[in-house]
Structure 1
């Protein structure tokens, strides 16, 4: 990760350029003008990681430009990161500067925070962690009011919790989320909240069922489950599945069946290519799917999964790569039209775009 060129005076023009780029990509499909959801101009990023660089006998937070691991950009503060991260950075640095136990062969620090104020710090080492390290890390965690995870080759020590707790408000209801250390979470909490509300509104109140692919920790699953009869959700990451199950339970949502399958495997199951033991007890024929929700990785949906979504009346698609989104829409354009689209500025001051479309059958 390189340091974004932080200049709030350029924000509006950058956002306008992104909106124009999305319009260009979706123009061949007669898309309506995108709804544009902006980001806070500063302190929007809830998670970040830094390498450490030794200079003048001290370790400093550092980042590097892509392809250059030899010329560090030393970091004292990080204005795009949450206020909580900026509060913790100097406190943590002061702690390792006076403690050989904490600093010896420490090479990377990761911060994970939430809008709700929770925080977790991961400290990664090129050495085994011992009882002396754990004792000092426990004192540091208490002093900073955070959880700490220590990582070394083949070992992980958790002090406190190995997740943070988030609260996001969708349509007036507060949803609580466990976000595990090391697992994917949306980095921009304020924009994530806007995404959830847009998806909730775009799906609408339904009387049929929802299929969700790539559900992660249940970020979208929780609010969307309140709009349909029942949900079948899939995710391949074991840690994300465990977090999603906990989040469903914590929020009292009982109309979701979650299975650990990839999108490609579920496609095979629905096409009756082969059975899966992980679907034992789930009657796929009992579902009356009217909508499918997808939030795929940057590569987008593979052709078979994209073809699977064609079966549904409504396709609600959140994308972190508008180019692969456009490729998927090109495959679906003969059967579905774009009814709504949106730009979510998850990553200000970069070229990255998060977007959403609602496709409905022609």
Structure 2
């Protein structure tokens, strides 16, 4: 199998290899059968970043090999169909305009399943009103939103976001996805993750605490299973998007607190008081479940100990190594009830895992 082989047989082999590795890596635990959620074989990435390379009068998208040598990208099969449609059309506009082309460094694409696209052009030069006028004409021609970036400069042609639609167990959820903010790149697998989390918490009851909620990706669909939801997130842009998404979807039982998981742990333990929690009375909550989707570093020891206080834990992990370390502690008090492999990143070694744990 090669990285350029996008056949069904090639995909199934790489998924089998990934599952075998996860089974081996977690052999020390008593796992139920691992549920596997595959990806589409092609056109699954909703976002991508490309460096651009200028050679004489021609500009191309490029990536770099292991020796750091650039090679031109003329097609991108893993990118969404819309992305692949836009890439050559945008490149033709760039090559036809010295104003767009000069000192262009990088192009970022953000697309959605419902046909919206946002393109960011990143430069090593100040951007002028003349550039903005040219970008507006490209927006009209390609029917996309465009952002220009350079040092200490960010010019919007119109919007800085797209609206994605996720279909979860018969219901659609709308999400504002802001340029340069984190979103799940594989929308199809993301829908599988959301459905899995909702299905595995249907009977939990009580209230939900969510740490690292981002733009509310899991928060929105999970809210249907709980009386109240309290979600925390430290990034200001993500908090603003989460608030927007809660209102957009007419959900009324979610509150967001802008703080880190470490800070919230201190608040729960009464170590510190935070003005950012003044709108929240923790005594009003009867948490049955905690949801965590930490960064690659996993849960810090104190947050790990916090999770162990809850009857139910939903843990989404982008790093099996740190997940394994955290589970060694958590399984002292909890039993693994479900384990899933989500193939967010086909044809790579990366594996996204989900674990449902219940207090012993």
Choose 56-65 or 112-121, whichever is displaced more: 56-65
Partner residue, 1:254:
252
Choose 244-253 or 48-57, whichever is displaced more: 48-57
**Distance in 2, Cα, partners of 1:236 & 1:145:** 33
Contact 1:6 1:80 in 2 (8 A): no
Choose 20-29 or 35-44, whichever is displaced more: 20-29
1:25 is displaced (CA, Å) by 2.3
Contact 2:204 2:312 in 1 (8 A): no
Aligned partner of 2:267 among 266, 269, 280:
269
Alignment of 1:17-28 (within 5 A): 17-28=17-28
Aligned partner of 2:176 among 163, 175, 178:
178
Q: Deviations over 1:216-261 (max 9, x none)?
A: 0000000001110000100011100000000000000111110111
Alignment of 1:198-347 (within 5 A): 198-347=196-345
Partner residue, 1:61:
61
Contact 1:206 1:229 in 2 (8 A): no
Contact 2:32 2:336 in 1 (8 A): yes
- SS of the equivalent of 1:108 reads strand
Unmatched 5+ stretches in structure 2: none
Partner residue, 2:147:
149
Contact 2:173 2:220 in 1 (8 A): yes
**Distance in 2, Cα, partners of 1:305 & 1:167:** 32
**Distance in 2, Cα, partners of 1:34 & 1:178:** 32
Alignment of 1:179-198 (within 5 A): 179-198=177-196
Q: Please give the TM-score of this superposition, normalised by the length of structure 1.
A: 0.97
**Distance in 2, Cα, partners of 1:4 & 1:73:** 15
**Distance in 1, Cα, partners of 2:10 & 2:3:** 12
1:143 is displaced (CA, Å) by 0.7
Partner residue, 1:13:
13
TM-align CA RMSD:
1.2
1:17 is displaced (CA, Å) by 1.2
- SS of the equivalent of 1:11 reads helix
Alignment of 1:113-192 (within 5 A): 113-192=111-190
1:7 is displaced (CA, Å) by 3.3
**Distance in 2, Cα, partners of 1:275 & 1:114:** 40
1:206 is displaced (CA, Å) by 3.6
Regions of 4+ moved over 4 Å: 3-6
Indicate how the Cα distance of structure 1 residues 20 and 243 shifts in structure 2: closer, same or farther if over 3 A, else same.
same
